[in-house]
Amino acid sequence: MNSKSPWTKKDLLSLYDLTAEEITFILDTAAEFKKVNCRRIKKVPALRGKTVVNVFIEPSTRTRISFELAEQRLSADIINMSADTSSLRKGESLLDTIRNIQALQADLIVMRHSAAGAPNFLASRVKCGIVNAGDGAHSHPTQALLDMFTIREKLGRIKGLNVSIIGDILHSRVARSNMWGLLKLGANVTFAGPSTLVPREFQQAGVRVCDNLKDALIGADVVNLLRIQHERQRSGFFPSTGEYARVFGLNHDSLQYIKPDALIMHPGPINRDVELSSELADGPQSVILEQVTNGLAVRMAVLFLVAGCLK
């Protein structure tokens, strides 16, 4: 690692823990790794000799594949573990499971868990590096980093931009991670959705909160749509999916309120024609697939930086 690097952490747990300088350094490092991904030969030896274990206790498609591909591009040795095929099903504690993985000389653990705080709990108890790939409704730092990378790449900056995040804020780790990252880099953040799904206490962090889609869209440079997370909530937060789509879905009718050059984003998976119409998801303002592409570079950067701080 460069002795002048501002990155000194063996773990990436949340963006709440990072400074603006550290976040910017990750984004700058990711920009260099994106160049690697454009080469004919896309592998580099940055993690050669390091062992990375992907521990996904909760289902994932994009994040898991993205991390695994990032590890391959960095030449790491990779082990994949899921709850269904582990001793967790036999009653072993999470800490014991991770300590056993560490005893096998693993260097890094990439973890997704349904319990908020699980990666933080482990990071203070094990020597190997922990990268949070999403924990409950708490944090998803690499998703927020790839969102910010995409915004900066497309619009040239983050400071001063108006970013509206619309949908199920209450249950969204993506919204929380984007909030901390965007605010630290100087963006103006708006949360919008049904009042039952957008707690007013986010205003204390400096977020504008509204329950009117039009107000959230006017003046926005970026519109990030979130799906309704039925798996994390009980019923009764809004009358029906159809009603939600009519009032808060971004479609041809509501498109009139956003800037013609505004970015349309979504962390996936998309519930088409609910929070976002297919027409707009596949339209010229959509950068959804670019987010996926940039996620690879961002995760390569995170793994590289974290591995460089291991003792």
Q: How far is CA 307 from CA 39, 76, 98, 118, 283, in A?
A: 23, 11, 17, 20, 38
What pLDDT does residue 311 have? 77
- Strand boundaries in the chain, DSSP class E: 51-56, 77-82, 108-113, 129-135, 162-166, 188-192, 208-210, 222-225, 263-265
Among 55-64, 82-91, 137-146, the range with the most confident prediction by mean pLDDT is 137-146
Q: Label residue 5 by pLDDT band (50, 70, 90).
A: confident
Neighbours of 163 (CB within 10 A): 24
Q: Are 244 and 194 contacting, i.e. CB atoms less than 8 angstroms apart?
A: yes
Which pLDDT tens digit goes with each residue over 50-76? Answer: 999 999 998 889 999 999 999 999 999
Convert 218-253 to b/e letters by CB count within 10 Å (16 or more is b).
Answer: eebbbbbbbbbbeeeeeeebbeeeeebbeebbbbee
With a pLDDT cut of 70, the percent of the chain lying above it is: 95
Tokens 């482990």: give the residue: 122
**Stretch among 30-34, 190-194, 237-241 having the lowest mean pLDDT:** 237-241
Instruction: Give the tokens for residue 146.
Output: 């790839």
Beta-carbon-side half-sphere exposure of residue 263 (alpha carbons within 13 Å):
26
278: left (phi over 0), alpha (psi -120 to 50) or beta: alpha
Beta-carbon-side half-sphere exposure of residue 38 (alpha carbons within 13 Å):
7
Predicted structure pTM score: 0.94
What number of helices (H) and strands (E) belong to the chain? 10, 9
